[in-house]
Amino acid sequence: MGEYLLVRGGRPLEGAARVPAAKNSVLPLLAAALLCEGESFFTQVPRLADVQQSLVILSALGCEYQWRGRGLAVRRCAEAPGVLPEGPARAMRSSVFYLAPAIHRCGRVRMPMPGGCKLGPRPIDIHLDGLDKMGARVDWRGETLTVSAPWGLTGADYTLRLPSVGATETLLMAAVLAKGETVLRGAAMEPEVVDLAAFLQRCGARIEGAGSPMIRVQGVRELRGAVHTPIPDRIVAATLAAAAASAGGWVRIQNCQIEALAPTLEILRRAGCRVEPAANAVTVRRVGWLRGVGRVYTGVYPAFSTDAAPVVAAALLTAAGRSAVEDTVFENRFACAEGFNALGAKTARAGRALEIEGVRALGPARVEAKDLRGGAALVVAALAAQGETKVYGVEHIRRGYGDLAGTLANLGAQVRLCQE
């Protein structure tokens, strides 16, 4: 017994959809609110499962929150012992974002190993090594991590061994209230890093170079909460673009950053879609059959995003010829391959790549999401399948999409949430 999405495929899409605020920006932004005096207010926040888990963590760390329409206010109002609740911390990878804020506010933080999608090894050694260089003491005992800095953090010149987005954001939050100057070399350049820096600057932080490989931060004594609109979700935008390519028809994607979406749009253009950009919007149109694109690779920004890889692969299942999508970031990105093949696709996993031989048509099946982006990819694939497909594992999809079924239904798809 459980929830599933019922997808009746074979219907082209038509219409416009507005992209919500980016999950991958909102989650570190909520953690950063813990650094601030007074109220922080974030507009257009999607009500995702991971957002709700973040609010449980904030409450445990002494914060109050209030939904105001589609905006979310957060205020730190009480002292707390710096212990993250086990359920939410284990449920999502982004619980790691509370390391630095909790150290600044509580002097220490204790948490279990962060959870999230099982995409292969996702170590947090860079986060911890950077914090160690800034004066924190790191103590692992079994599955429990304790990080303490009772006398505060001190700025450091630190080189990340790889441009991890999460580690860059963790160390950026550590640096803004640390004593002296911090220089982060080899930093991630993703838009979400830039967005976090923009919020912190509104709050009074002194940051230079966000969006480049070197970020320089002068620590300040205090941050004050601010109003901030997070950037649009480029992965939701990529999902909508891939849905248009899979189902046929057209979708106008509103409130999106074209530059951040460019690698996905280029792959779909190569596959035969018409891509029509406008100011803060783009229309993706599929007329006729798609064609294979050869081998494409994910990479760190500004390359093709690992999170967009499964939904783009789903769109290529019925493209004539061969395609391959290789993820250079995670080992187990394509757990959705089993579901693709149940729908009648011809795919094979080869190391970190998904090899695709396009088929003329997909058929109905019962499939199960194993992770967030793979779940969305199964829905995208089901849009091209004849008959009724049941997509289970809806709890994974909810972590990153507020109402994927409703969004697609508004575009003409026959998708609805059902209960067994």
Catalytic sites, residue numbers: 117
For residue 279, what are the contacts with CB-CB under 8 A and spacing of at least 6?
none
- Please compute, for residue 81, the number of CA atoms within 13 A of its CA located in the half-sphere on the CB side: 6
Count of Cβ atoms closer than 10 Å to residue 78 Cβ: 9
Residue 117 tokens read as 């999608």
Separation of alpha carbons 113 and 90, rounded Å: 6
Provide long-range contacts, Cβ within 8 A and 24+ apart, for 152-156: 152/104, 152/177, 152/178, 152/179, 153/100, 153/103, 153/104, 153/177, 153/178, 153/179, 154/178, 154/179, 154/180, 155/179, 155/180, 155/181, 155/182, 155/183, 155/217, 155/219, 156/130, 156/182, 156/183
Helices (H) and strands (E) in the chain, counts: 14, 23
* Dihedral sign of CA atoms 255, 262, 376, 401 in order: negative
User: What is the DSSP code (8-state) at residue 317?
Assistant: G
Separation of alpha carbons 19 and 22, rounded Å: 8
DSSP, collapsed to helix, strand or coil, labels residue 364 as coil
Separation of alpha carbons 291 and 271, rounded Å: 5
Separation of alpha carbons 79 and 309, rounded Å: 42
In single-letter form, the type of residue at position 164 comes to S
DSSP 254-280: ES--HHHHHHHHHHHHHTT-EEEEETT
Check whether the bond before 310 is cis (ω within 30° of 0).
no
DSSP, collapsed to helix, strand or coil, labels residue 178 as coil
